[in-house]
Amino acid sequence: MSTRTALLAGATGLVGSHLLTRLLADPRYGRVTALVRRPPAVTHPDLDVRVTDFADLGADDVPAVDDVYCALGTTRKAAGSREAFRAVDQHLTVAVARHARRAGARRIALCSAIGARPGARAFYLRVKGDTEREVIGLGYDSTEVFRPSLLLGDRSEHRPAERASTAAAPLFTPLLVGPLRPCRPVSADRLAAAMITGLTAAAPGRHLHTYDDIMALSAP
Ligand SMILES: NC(=O)c1ccc[n+]([C@@H]2O[C@H](COP(=O)([O-])OP(=O)(O)OC[C@H]3O[C@@H](n4cnc5c(N)ncnc54)[C@H](OP(=O)(O)O)[C@@H]3O)[C@@H](O)[C@H]2O)c1
């Protein structure tokens, strides 16, 4: 019998939708709770959809679960300002992780980004680094941080730069060798698979996963 329960934040996004499909099909998990601001396209008897006002997220919105998967995020353009971007990518992520930890969750998988570092020059990477640091500080038994580069997959939202990079990926990926290897693109579905394999097998402590690890953890 599946006894493990999961909370997923970001279930309607590119990575989150793959996580949702995989978690619902995973025999290790029973109930999967999706914390969303709009319902996902999927229905399933084990899926508990919680449509939530994230601007006013409180402890009551976050159920007691074993494992947390977080793939929340926005873009600066969609958010409208740096502060609004940080409010989603950092503050919302940390709020979900904090409430879930207080409700008893023991393990968390966080979708971050390659190059994340609190002192990074690039604002996006600085926010991702600050987010990682705060989530790690919450004291989960296991904190698995995934740092992908460009994510490949079907996205309905119009993101021209991402689309151009995706189209060029077959050309530049073989050139990313040596220290640039962690910058290789990865499909959102393989990342989702790696997050689940990584978290379900996680040893206690904090672990960072980049390209090679993501590919190994998601190997068929
Ligand atoms: N895309 C890339 O190439 C790439 C590369 C490296 C790292 N990452 C990181 O990987 C993570 C997942 O990326 P992704 O491309 O899967 O993201 P995505 O498709 O943009 O999905 C983001 C998720 O966050 C939710 N969200 C956004 N703003 C919200 C708000 N104000 N309140 C509540 N929920 C909100 C979205 O909900 P709605 O559907 O309701 O908008 C969606 O479920 C992000 O943290 C991103 O920074 C992405």
Position in ligand 1 atom list of the atom nearest CA 165: 3
Q: Where are the beta strands (DSSP E) in the chain?
A: 4-9, 29-36, 47-51, 67-70, 107-111, 142-146, 151-152, 186-187, 205-209
Q: How far apart are CA 71 and CA 65, in angstroms?
A: 17
111: domain CATH number? 3.40.50.720
Q: What is the pLDDT of residues 94-104, one digit of tens each?
A: 999 999 999 99
Range(s) of the domain holding residue 165: 4-217
Q: In what order do the strands lie in the sheet with 205-209?
A: 47-51, 29-36, 4-9, 67-70, 107-111, 142-146, 205-209
Q: What is the pLDDT of residues 156-165, one digit of tens each?
A: 777 888 888 8
Task: Indicate whether residue 186 lines ligand 1 (CB < 6 A).
Answer: no
Task: Indicate whether residue 185 lines ligand 1 (CB < 6 A).
Answer: no
pLDDT at position 154 = 85
Low-confidence residues in the chain, pLDDT < 50: none
Distance (Å) from CA 9 to ligand 1 centroid: 9
pLDDT at position 2 = 67
Q: For the chain, how many structural domains are there in total? A: 1
Q: How far apart are CA 95 and CA 76, in angstroms?
A: 20
pLDDT at position 183 = 95
Q: How far apart are CA 217 and CA 96, in angstroms?
A: 25
Tell me how long the chain is.
Answer: 220
pLDDT at position 1 = 59
pLDDT at position 43 = 94
pLDDT at position 134 = 98
Task: Indicate whether residue 10 lines ligand 1 (CB < 6 A).
Answer: yes
Distance (Å) from CA 214 to ligand 1 centroid: 19
Task: Indicate whether residue 34 lines ligand 1 (CB < 6 A).
Answer: no
Q: How far apart are CA 76 and CA 97, in angstroms?
A: 22
Task: Indicate whether residue 198 lines ligand 1 (CB < 6 A).
Answer: no
